[in-house]
Chain A
Amino acid sequence: MIPEYMSGTVLEELPEEKKEFSFSRRRFFKVFGKGLVVLIVAKDLFSREALAANPASAAIPENQVGAWIHILEDGTVKVFTGKVEVGQNIRTSLSQAVAEELRVPLSSVIMIMGDTDLVPPDGGTIGSRSTPQMGSQLRRAAATARLALIEMAAKNWNADPKSLQANQGMVIDPGANKKMSYGELTKGQQLLLHLSNDVHLAPANEWKVLGKTALKINGDSFVTGKHKFVSDMKVPDMLYGKVLRAPTYLSKLISADIGKAQAIPGVTVVRDGDFIGLVAANPRIAEKAIQMIQAQWDTIGTQPSRTEIFDYLVKNGNPRRSVANDLEQAFASADMRLKNTFHVNYIAHVPLEPRAALARWEDGKLTVWTGTQRPFGVRQELSRTFNVAEDNVRVIVPDTGSAYGGKHSGEAALEAARLSRAVKKPVKLVWTREEEFVWAYFRPAGVIEVDSGIGKDGNIVAWKFHNYNSGPAAIDTQYAISSQENSYIPSKTPLKQGSYRGLASTANVFARESHIADIARLLKKDQLEFRLKNLNDQRLKAVLEAAAKAFGWNSNMQSSGRGYGIACGYDKGGYVATCAEIAINDNKEVKVIRLTEAFECGAIVNPGQLENQIMGAMIQGLGGALFEAVDFADGKILNHRLSLYRVPRFEDVPKIDIVMLNREDLPSAGAGEAAIIGVAPAIRNAILDASGIGLTTLPLLPDSGFSIKI
């Protein structure tokens, strides 16, 4: 039996035939039931010949289908996609996309997400790609289905399809006063279509479901506590796992005495090379048992600590390319030159639900429930590690307690599967907060050197921007600078690092926008005007102007103990500008009074959710801007608990105003990331305005001598 794992989703017992699933029409309908299906496939998949022969019956390799929409005989619409829901609310916004084009009520759309046996492979829910890519593909597929349904009705009624309409899950002939529901139309049918790229999509100004606020689709299952996160799940015969952790990243296991743990009734210790874990009938017993294992560890090698990290990153940077001649000349011709070095600390994602996995082996087939942004990536990891075919591994991702780029990997899944294989029972493993802090991965630390030359007329004529280690995203500047070089220099990292909401763009925008503020100050120019004068990008200018207006920015803003800052940037389809007002006292205590942010990411899909995402990103951004930093020494994380690692709380939230620009003429982009990038530089520039001190390290406080006032 499969436990009920996902509210709002009909649970499917998987039929036997699924095992050799490919998209031949016959097999598909045998597995999923009759109806009408529209497949989203990579464009070049259908050779002209294959299409000409018979588009509907061509067998399509499974790995080339991106998603599909299935209209069942009862009119239910099921959408199958490998995307996952981790709080960004795509379960809701993707449903809206389908409902819009298929002309069905939102409530009749059911999203089947992130189950590798039920949905087609997907590269992962990462990089803000769900809305621009999956969203627009699903719209096309839904429109294709709508047209097919209209055609079917037209045939039935012997009518001209052009005279028919689709509305509320029905095809209607207004002239003849006839109606037929999608369910009636698809009854007994086995129609497999591929998405047509030529369909007409409703323009944003005609949207009826999209473009409107829709509340979280399965919200009631959360406010009642009914939704089962992975950490909540239970299956029959399930045991609880626990893994022995090394005391530091530099520890190597020499020996372990497992006798005492093994002697506890019901405890089984599992050794597999250097891996030691155990299972018990209750997590409290597992916890007690793991503490009774006496392990000897050796220390191997050394690792830089936080105090040396920035030197280390620069020293270990791969040799940079030589600077172009004309850039040197441009610098030589400049009237003034300004150099800054910025530092960005490692920070932790701290998803409120730590990693968890439940693994079960049955007849050589492995099923793992786990919260990850890359179910198919984790399936591959499992398949390689345990040497089983990918077809024999099923990864299921119930709606998960957040990720922010921090759950691309499958550590807990591998550990639970290893334990389960050894004890031949299902095993659930829930990481502690401390394990999540120490054994997951971090947003990279970085060093960014910025060097600029300014001409007599106040234009920037030369620009050199080097980012060590934190990444290349948003490294190119939107400022009009005739000679420039922006390069990302990979380095060695002592800590495991990976993706994060707005990853490198946060670092790059922080450095660039801080440096721009320093130049403007040097030239005694207003922060806003200087930017508008030097920017070419109209969309960026538009958000800057909108933010400034809502904030009440003016060049004479001055009041004692207050500072005002502004910053702007672009990342992954989102344009953002942020204004900050801070208060500062003689003890260098800083308080953020208010933030105003303008954001534009094309046509707005769901204004309520967009506002929610922007607000969330800004508040999360406050942490990295003000106080979040991973502290580490000698291969050990020192602040590995929530009582030691500060994240933003209610009292940290300033007054926040959000302006959303709706560009109905532009395609929609994702909104989960770019909204974070303006917060840190806007606050930094406000501190500069108030104190004359330009801080250069993230977080800005408290190591800089400034501290936070609540």
Chain B
Amino acid sequence: MLLTINGIKHEVNADAGASLLSVLRDDLDITGSKYGCGEGACGACTVLVNGSAIRSCITPVSLVAGKEITTIEGLEKNGKLHPVQEAFLKSDAFQCTYCTSGMIMSSVSLLMMNPKPTDADIISAMNGNICRCGTYPRIIKAIKLAAESQNK
């Protein structure tokens, strides 16, 4: 099966039913996407497939063959961080940071669909992502900061 991850093609040998998260982490050693629940309930494993955020822990790898998969490792372009990554850094929108890559991927997808989200838009789009350290208000701030800098 051929997977395109962050613009690079990978040939993988995995059961059709294997989760995308497991293939990324265990077969390809692309470990920026995290495991937090395995049932689509925490968002730590969020990646983009053709630009939309999906939970890779409940996505069978066979469903995404041939599609564009973007993980946190693929956001940086030519040594420059993505505006959302920048905004998370500037806002210190984390504590332990285990939720961070999932939060960033969900935010990127939100801003692609809605470049000027209100607080309510952010809350409803991000509600599936858990930050157990409770940095939610900082994450909202970071998303708004990223929106501002993208809209400049």
Residues of A within 8 A of B (CB): 86-89, 215-216, 219-220, 222-229, 231-232, 234, 240, 282-284, 350-354, 399-402, 404, 430, 432-433, 608-609, 612-613, 615-620, 641-643, 647-651, 653, 656
Q: Is the CB of A612 within 8 A of B138?
A: yes
Selected contact of A232 from candidates B31, B96, B124, B139, CB within 8 Å? B31
B95 with A88: CB separation less than 8 A: yes
Residues in chain B within 8 A of chain A (CB atoms): 14-15, 18, 22, 25-27, 29, 31-39, 41-42, 44, 71-73, 75-76, 81, 85, 88-90, 92, 94-101, 104, 122-124, 126-140
A contact residues around B98 at 8 Å (CB): 87, 229, 351-353, 401-402
Main secondary structure of the interface of B (DSSP, over half): loop
Q: Which 8 A-B pairs have the closest CB atoms?
A: A225-B32, A87-B96, A619-B134, A401-B98, A225-B72, A232-B31, A87-B95, A616-B134
B134 / chain A contacts, CB cutoff of 8 Å: 615-620, 648
Is the pair A353, B18 in contact by a Cβ cutoff of 8 Å?
Answer: no
Min CB gap B72→A, angstroms: 4
Task: Give CA–CA (A232, B71) in the complex, Å.
Answer: 15
> Residues of B contacting A219 with CB < 8 Å?
88-89, 92, 94, 97
Which of chain B's residues has its CB closest to A617's CB?
B134
A647 to B129, CA, bound (A): 11
Known interface pairs A226-B32, A229-B34, A402-B96; 15 further A-B residue pairs with C-beta atoms within 8 A, sorted by A's residue number: A232-B25, A240-B26, A284-B14, A351-B96, A354-B36, A432-B38, A433-B37, A615-B135, A618-B134, A641-B41, A642-B37, A643-B41, A648-B136, A649-B127, A656-B137
Residues of B within 8 A of A354 (CB): 35-36
Contact B15 A284 (CB under 8 A): yes
A651-B100 contact, Cβ under 8 Å, with A225-B73, A284-B15, A641-B41: no
CB contact under 8 A between A642 and B41, given known A352-B96, A402-B132, A615-B137: yes
The reply to whether B133 and A402 contact each other, CB–CB distance below 8 Å, is yes
The reply to whether A650 and B136 contact each other, CB–CB distance below 8 Å, is yes
A86/B96 in contact, CB under 8 A: yes
**Given A282-B27, A402-B95; A222-B100 close (CB under 8 Å):** yes
**Mind listing 6 A-B residue pairs with CB under 8 Å?**
A219-B94, A222-B100, A223-B88, A240-B26, A282-B26, A353-B98
Nearest neighbor of A644 in chain B, beta-carbon distance: B41
Chain B nearest CB from A449 CB (Å) reads: 31
B10 CB to nearest A CB, Å: 16
Complex Cα gap A651–B119 (Å): 10
B37: chain A residues at CB < 8 Å are 433, 641-643
Provide the residues of chain B in CB contact with A240, threshold 8 Å: 26
* Contacting residue for A433 out of B38, B126, B128, B136, CB 8 A: B38
Residue of A nearest to B138 (CB): A612
Most buried by A among B29, B31, B88, B99: B31
Task: Report the Cα distance A303→B81, complex, angstroms.
Answer: 54
The answer to whether A283 and B26 touch across the interface, beta carbons within 8 angstroms, is yes
CB closest chain-B residue, reference A641: B39
Bound-state CA distance A232–B44 (Å) is 13
Q: Which residues of A contact B27 (CB under 8 A)?
A: 282
Q: How far is the CB of A668 from chain B (nearest CB, A)?
A: 19
From B29, B92, B104, give the contact of A215 (CB < 8 A): B92
Cα-based distance from A229 to B82 in the complex (angstroms): 22
Partner of A352 from the list B32, B36, B89, B123 (CB cut-off 8 Å) is B36
- Asked if A223 meets B34 with Cβ closer than 8 Å, knowing A282-B26, A352-B130, the reply is no
Q: Which residues of B contact A401 (CB under 8 A)?
A: 34, 96-98
Expressed in whole angstroms, the Cα–Cα distance for A641 and B37 within the complex equals 7
Determine the chain A residues whose CB is within 8 A of the CB of B96 once the complex forms.
86-87, 351-353, 399-402
- Considering the chains assembled together, what is the distance between the CA atoms of A657 and B15 in angstroms? 50
Instruction: Give A649 to B100 CA distance when docked, in angstroms.
Output: 15
The answer to whether B81 and A224 touch across the interface, beta carbons within 8 angstroms, is: yes
- Provide the bound-state CA to CA distance between A182 and B42, in Å: 48
Q: How far is the CA of A11 from the CA of B14 in the complex (A)?
A: 34
CA distance A609 to B26 in the complex (A): 34
The answer to whether A649 and B35 have CB atoms under 8 Å apart is no
Please, which residues of chain A bring their CB within 8 A of the CB of B89? 215, 219-220, 223
Please state if B41 and A616 are interface contacts (CB–CB under 8 Å): no
Complex Cα spacing A229 to B136, Å: 22
Complex Cα–Cα for A224 and B73 (A): 6
B29/A352 in contact, CB under 8 A: no
A351 touches B132 (CB 8 A): yes
Measured in the bound complex, the distance between the Cα atoms of B21 and A231 in whole Å is: 13
The answer to whether A650 touches B92 (Cβ under 8 A) is no
Most B C-beta atoms less than 10 A away, residue of A223, A283, A649: A223
* Contact call B92/A608, Cβ cutoff below 8 A: yes
Complex Cα spacing A87 to B97, Å: 7
Q: Which of B26, B32, B95 has the most CB of A within 10 A?
A: B95
